[in-house]
Amino acid sequence: MPVVLTSSVASSQAPAKQDAPAPTPIPETIVLGTLEREGVPRVPLGATGSRDVLGPEEVESIGARDLNDLLEYLPAVSTRPYNGGESSAPSFSIRGIPDDGLTEYLHVAIDGVAASPLPYGWTAFSFFPLLTEQVYAIDLIRGGYAVRYSPNTVGGVLNLLTPPIPKEESYDVRATVGSYGYQSTLFSAGDDDGRFGYLLTLGERHGDGFRADSDFEYTTADLKTRWALGERDWLSLHASYIENEHRPPGGLTVAEYDQDRFANTRPENVFRGFRALADVVRHVDTGGGSFEWFGSFSQTRRNLTAERPAFGAPTELRVIDDDAYSLAAGFRAEDRFEAFGLEHALYWGLRVNEELLPNRTTDRTTYATGVSALIQDAEYELTTVGAHVDDTLHLTDAWTLVAGVRAEWIPVAQGEDAVVGGDFDETFFDVLPGISTSYEVAEWAALFANWQRSFRAPQVWGFGVSPTSPDQSLEFERGESIEAGVRIDAAGGLEGSIAVWNTEFGEIGFFDTNSVYRNIGEIEASGVDYVVRWNAGEAVDALDGFSLYGTLTTQDSEIVDAANSTNDGNETPYAWEEKLAWSIQYETSSRWRFSLGGTHVGESFSDDANTVAESSNGDIGLNPSRTVWDAQVSKDLSLGKKAAGRFFVGATNLFDSEWFVHSRGGFFGGGKVAGAPQQVYAGFQLGF
């Protein structure tokens, strides 16, 4: 199947005067940095790896307040409230790989462009550079595609899609109010006359937060444009700016939690920052394929203020200030030809990344004396060159084979700290192969299997520039994954997949309670992902309007060859053994929609020693299982020939279940962290 190389396009999620683009069949993969012109991807039956898409209606009906809630509905994905409040700083992991709060083993992208401040050197999100309300659809790749994507892809690729440019002039507004002072507004305007298309989006969200003194605020402006330069040639330009301020309360001691689980003992903690991004794609049709030039530039500014120590009476205030710059440029191409009696689709490309952190400073002010001192003044630079090539062969009409290789060369990875005195100068090179296949055993069923290697680039703070531990250092971690499964798209509206997988990662560095990396050993995780969708009305007329969506992941993730031999065979921190998600929807002929869904996350440990008892500080102990339900009722309205509307009411954590996790590490401190309580909301969308 071909790969479609298209521009990054978006439109309003609210109802407009034209219907949203219908999901369209897509090739085995989408080259990151682009979106399909037709809109939301649909996974083909013969895809050679695990891949699932949450479409616009599913995203809308979930009604998530933050990304952690939304992503819990995806198979195999792990999230947790890392900094303690509304998830301005979310943390993601997948398939049993440790979730240490830094999102290091899953490549996260927004419209195909890496979302992290530094894709190689700084994956953690001090804030996530996208409003939850901007998420139109989600494309999750879990196996078989590491050759084309990099870095940090052993777990997969998570691509958050914003809406496509409207096909005609349209204006949309969406407003929501909810519990704990929550308000959000999103406005967009767009048009496409066939030669030039654009979408301008302005947004804002703020609230008091469910923890005391944990207010937050986002503002954003986003412009996407597209010029048609020929029948199949085009140029797209995208620019965005988003800023965030939030007060992360961190965790609590057990005693503090028992007194008030929503307390904030560090009200002086605050984050302020922004991200500015520019992205360009030039697409040229070559007759037998296509060629694209692409480039992107981002600046992420962060200012973090936190009291120390994390527990007990604060004695000092620390302020971290830095700017992270990421520049990427390259090309990618598709060539189709016949050779040796077989049809080939050759995909290849090259990308150069330059990452800079020129001025990371940490100031410490001691309360007792009022004296301030500079305790860190670090700079960091990383240069990478990545190249990939793979060949898709259609051995028969039913049998597809994809084989390829990725080369990663990092000639420059260096940094120094003028205050601490630490410095490093490292290089890295590796060749990372991958192979995948699928076989369509029937018109409605296909088998697939794949194997791949990937790596995780060390984070900037792991290279001996930490004022806490100047001697620590990291190696580039390598991992591999294998999976096999079956995908069905049967009559009666039933579709789904089952994938059996195994992931291995060597020499895992875990960011611990002392804010330093510590080698805990190798990780071996295995599991099964189940995904099912059923449009019941296609099977039984009486059930017209009913639809079901469900996922189940069971996994076993263990530490092997542990650095501390007593931990050998223990469970990986924050790696639960089972996770379920479900959504039941019913839409009436009058366009009322009722949705009831939820998630269940099994218990996990917070440390590699698998400590069950809570520590007094609350940062270590068993994380109990939790089950959370969500509900929403909405009504689509026809407001005339040129306008449409929608109103909705709903609740997250419908039954107000109390849950918590023991959080470790982080600048704002670990401890016992309360999960979000019941939160109700109401809103409307208007498009014309």
How far, CA to CA in Å, does 574 sit from each of 44, 101, 441, 504? Answer: 33, 10, 38, 16
The pLDDT value recorded for residue 33 is 35
The pLDDT value recorded for residue 473 is 53
Please answer whether residues 543 and 557 qualify as being in contact, where contact means their C-beta atoms are separated by less than 8 angstroms: no
Please answer whether residues 95 and 104 qualify as being in contact, where contact means their C-beta atoms are separated by less than 8 angstroms: no
Residues 254-275, mean pLDDT to the nearest whole number: 95
Task: Report whether pLDDT(575) > 50.
Answer: yes
CB-based burial label for 613 (10 Å; 0-12, 13-18, 19+): exposed
Query: Residue 260: what residue type?
Result: D
| 9 occurs within a structural domain | no
Of how many residues is the chain composed?
688
Task: Report whether pLDDT(620) > 60.
Answer: yes
Q: How many CB atoms lie within 10 A of CB 219?
A: 16
Give the DSSP H/E element, type plus range, for residue 351. strand 342-366
| 73 occurs within a structural domain | yes
Give the DSSP H/E element, type plus range, for residue 69. helix 67-71
List, in order, residues 6 or more apart from 442 with CB less than 8 Å away.
Answer: none
> pTM for this one?
0.92
Please answer whether residues 301 and 356 qualify as being in contact, where contact means their C-beta atoms are separated by less than 8 angstroms: no
Residue 44: phi and psi, rounded to 5, are -75, 155
Please answer whether residues 483 and 449 qualify as being in contact, where contact means their C-beta atoms are separated by less than 8 angstroms: yes
| 138 occurs within a structural domain | yes
Residues 440-464, mean pLDDT to the nearest whole number: 85
Task: Report whether pLDDT(311) > 80.
Answer: yes
Task: Report whether pLDDT(541) > 50.
Answer: yes
Lowest-pLDDT range of 448-457, 513-522, 602-611, 642-651 = 513-522
Do you find a cis peptide bond into 151, omega within 30 degrees of 0?
yes
Please answer whether residues 617 and 599 qualify as being in contact, where contact means their C-beta atoms are separated by less than 8 angstroms: no
| DSSP β-bridge partners for residue 554 | 528, 578
CA geometry: angle at 580 spanning 579 and 585, to 5°?
Answer: 160
CB-based burial label for 429 (10 Å; 0-12, 13-18, 19+): exposed
Instruction: Output 18 or 283, whichever has higher pLDDT.
Output: 283
Task: Report whether pLDDT(408) > 60.
Answer: yes
Greatest CA separation for the chain: 80
Please answer whether residues 200 and 175 qualify as being in contact, where contact means their C-beta atoms are separated by less than 8 angstroms: no
DSSP collapsed to 3 states, 632-646 = EEEEEEECCCCCEEE
CA distance 446 to 141: 17
Which one of 11-25, 465-479, 649-663 scores highest in mean pLDDT?
649-663
Q: How many CB atoms lie within 10 A of CB 187?
A: 16
Please answer whether residues 376 and 362 qualify as being in contact, where contact means their C-beta atoms are separated by less than 8 angstroms: yes
Give the SS3 label for residue 68: helix
Task: Report whether pLDDT(31) > 50.
Answer: no
Q: 512: pLDDT confidence band, cut at 50, 70 and 90? A: low
Task: Report whether pLDDT(25) > 70.
Answer: no
Q: For residue 213, what are its two tokens?
A: 């003194």
Domain that holds residue 79: 24-687
Query: Residue 558: what residue type?
Result: E
Instruction: Output 413 or 482, whichever has higher pLDDT.
Output: 482
Lowest-pLDDT range of 137-146, 215-224, 506-515, 641-650 = 506-515
The pLDDT value recorded for residue 458 is 73
The pLDDT value recorded for residue 609 is 93
The pLDDT value recorded for residue 659 is 95
Of 556, 474, 532, which is closest to residue 508 (Cα–Cα)? 474
The pLDDT value recorded for residue 9 is 29
- The DSSP secondary-structure symbol of 162 reads P
Query: Residue 513: what residue type?
Result: T
Task: Give how many domains the chain has, as a whole number.
Answer: 1
From the centroid of its chain, how far is CA 330?
23
Cα radius of gyration rounded to whole Å, the chain: 24
CA distance 502 to 178: 41
CA distance 81 to 675: 7
The pLDDT value recorded for residue 93 is 87
The pLDDT value recorded for residue 88 is 66
Q: 506: pLDDT confidence band, cut at 50, 70 and 90? A: confident
The pLDDT value recorded for residue 35 is 52
Lowest-pLDDT range of 96-105, 150-159, 399-408 = 96-105
Please answer whether residues 390 and 347 qualify as being in contact, where contact means their C-beta atoms are separated by less than 8 angstroms: yes
| 5 occurs within a structural domain | no
- The DSSP secondary-structure symbol of 378 reads E
| 16 occurs within a structural domain | no
From the centroid of its chain, how far is CA 352?
23
Give the SS3 label for residue 493: helix
The pLDDT value recorded for residue 562 is 82
The pLDDT value recorded for residue 665 is 66
Give the DSSP H/E element, type plus range, for residue 60. helix 56-62
CA distance 433 to 481: 11
List, in order, residues 6 or more apart from 3 with CB less than 8 Å away.
Answer: 27, 28, 29, 30, 31, 334, 345, 347
Q: 210: pLDDT confidence band, cut at 50, 70 and 90? A: very high
CA distance 123 to 142: 18
Residues 122-133, mean pLDDT to the nearest whole number: 91
Instruction: Output 421 or 391, whichever has higher pLDDT.
Output: 391
| 368 occurs within a structural domain | yes
The pLDDT value recorded for residue 652 is 94
Q: How many CB atoms lie within 10 A of CB 269?
A: 27
Phi-psi sector, 331: left (phi>0), alpha (psi -120 to 50), beta = beta
| 499 occurs within a structural domain | yes
Straight-line distance from the first to the last Cα atom of the chain, in angstroms, rounded to the nearest whole number: 37
Please answer whether residues 150 and 107 qualify as being in contact, where contact means their C-beta atoms are separated by less than 8 angstroms: yes
The pLDDT value recorded for residue 516 is 60
Mean pLDDT of the chain: 87
- The DSSP secondary-structure symbol of 654 reads T
The pLDDT value recorded for residue 10 is 31
Q: Which CATH number is 640's domain given?
A: 2.40.170.20
Q: 36: pLDDT confidence band, cut at 50, 70 and 90? A: very low
- The DSSP secondary-structure symbol of 137 reads E
Residue 567: phi and psi, rounded to 5, are -95, 0
DSSP collapsed to 3 states, 223-279 = EEEEEECCCCCEEEEEEEEEEEEECCCCCECHHHHHHCCCCCCCCCCEEEEEEEEEE
Residues 114-136, mean pLDDT to the nearest whole number: 92
The pLDDT value recorded for residue 475 is 64
Q: 104: pLDDT confidence band, cut at 50, 70 and 90? A: confident
Percent of the chain predicted with pLDDT > 70:
89
Tell me which residue has tokens 């992931």. 503
The pLDDT value recorded for residue 520 is 74
Instruction: Output 423 or 609, whichever has higher pLDDT.
Output: 609
Q: 17: pLDDT confidence band, cut at 50, 70 and 90? A: very low
| 198 occurs within a structural domain | yes
Task: Report whether pLDDT(46) > 60.
Answer: yes
The pLDDT value recorded for residue 517 is 62
Q: For residue 392, what are its two tokens?
A: 């898709």
